[in-house]
Structure 1
Amino acid sequence: MGNLRSVRPSVLGAALLACAALALAGCSSADTAGAVRTPSSTPATPTAAAEPDPVVMDEDQSAPAVCGQLSALSTVTLNARVGLQQGDVTQAELEALLAAARFGYEHLSSTDTRLSNAIAYTQRYLEEHPAPASGPALDDSPEWDLAMRSLNTACQESGSSVVSTAQYGG
């Protein structure tokens, strides 16, 4: 991949969102390493092709997992906004990254009561402030800042942290 400073922020953001999506899925699955498939003695026809076994994944809704997701979402939004200021991210890229981050916030859930309450508060805010047809899907208002602080506090009270990795220093 090379030097992270030479990677376009949109590529880095997409990679971080992919990690967040994996974290949302739970990243755990049954061990399939021991499964052995033997070839059939008759050629398979298109209608008789074997369907792959579905992989069942449990979503990890623990505080550490959710706070890790929040770290990824926070990193994406921070770097997208600063990247726009630095001229490394276009307005369209910023809007795409913020829309993806919003999707992540809208789909958070946790088994931790403190986090569940903060998530519910954040999701209520998002419902009351729908994404515009054009423009950033997440605003930079004092109310949104309060929602983010409530999530950060809930993570800290649950023994986890939210950490944003700043591409542009800090």
Structure 2
Amino acid sequence: MASLRLALTVVAGALLASLALSSCSADASSTPTPTSSSARSADAAVDAPAASPTVDPMEEDGSAAAVCGQISALSTIALNASDGRSRGALTDAQYEALIAAERFGYEHLSSSDERLDNAIDYALEYLDAHPAPASGPALEDSPEWELVGRTLNTACQQAGSNVVATAQSGG
């Protein structure tokens, strides 16, 4: 029972981290810089109607920060699933369920940031070429999959976001 709680805690923590990171998706370049034309009088600012962009709160955030936050959450799931299984805290079935969740997350990555497009396409091509087996882990821990991970990490760094996996135990 404790190992099931561990698995649920890992998944819940990773999902919360992903949501927290995706809500912090505005990057510094989107902050307007004051210009001489923006220094209007108080009367002109009052007379002008406020421009409020209509943003659908249910629309997926495809920014680099949000996508790299998702990748961080998926990396956290994989790290803690592997660690939990190696320590005997997770059964093989629990480990496989977490890895299936990780794969599902990678299969549904999409971005509006063109700096991530090629890396995401590469990951999706890998997943298409390596379907999940009927039994066993949905992703193989292989050099090819590690290359996919490094490619995604590099693309995130080039887009100004980091990918970080958080270990539940260890130092």
- Shorter chain as normaliser: what TM range? 0.7 to 0.9
Give ranges in structure 2 of 5+ residues lacking alignment.
Answer: 24-55
Structure 1 distance, partners of 2:81, 2:11, is: 11
Structure 2 distance, partners of 1:72, 1:15, is: 10
Match of 1:12 in 2: 9
- The one-letter code sitting in structure 1 at the alignment partner of 2:77 is V
Match of 1:37 in 2: none
Over 3 Å counting, the alpha-carbon distance change for 1:97 and 1:169 in structure 2 is same
Over 3 Å counting, the alpha-carbon distance change for 1:21 and 1:63 in structure 2 is closer
Structure 1 distance, partners of 2:83, 2:4, is: 15
Where does 1:8-157 land on structure 2 (aligned, <5 Å)?
A: 8-16=5-13, 18-19=15-16, 22=19, 57-157=58-158
User: Under a length normalisation based on structure 2, what TM-score does the superposition of the two structures give?
Assistant: 0.73
Structure 2 distance, partners of 1:82, 1:21, is: 20
Structure 1 distance, partners of 2:98, 2:4, is: 15
Over 3 Å counting, the alpha-carbon distance change for 1:17 and 1:167 in structure 2 is closer
| Aligned partner of residue 8 in structure 1, secondary structure | helix
Query: What displacement does 1:112 show?
Result: 1.3
Match of 1:45 in 2: none
Query: What displacement does 1:18 show?
Result: 3.8
Task: Tell me, yes or no, if the aligned pair for 2:64 and 2:116 is still in contact at 8 Å.
Answer: yes
| Aligned partner of residue 71 in structure 2, secondary structure | helix
What percent of counterpart residues are identical?
61
Query: What displacement does 1:103 show?
Result: 0.4
Query: What displacement does 1:96 show?
Result: 0.3
Query: What displacement does 1:12 show?
Result: 1.6
Q: How many correspondences in the alignment?
A: 138
| Aligned partner of residue 111 in structure 2, secondary structure | coil
Match of 1:39 in 2: none
Task: Tell me, yes or no, if the aligned pair for 1:131 and 1:138 is still in contact at 8 Å.
Answer: yes
Which whole-Å deviations, capped at 9, do the CAs of 1:62-121 have from their partners, x for residues lacking one?
000001000000000110011000010110000000001100000000111121110100
Structure 1 distance, partners of 2:138, 2:17, is: 18
Considering only aligned residues, what root-mean-square deviation do their CA atoms show, in Å?
2.5
Structure 2 distance, partners of 1:7, 1:103, is: 20
- Which structure has more helix as a fraction of its residues? 2
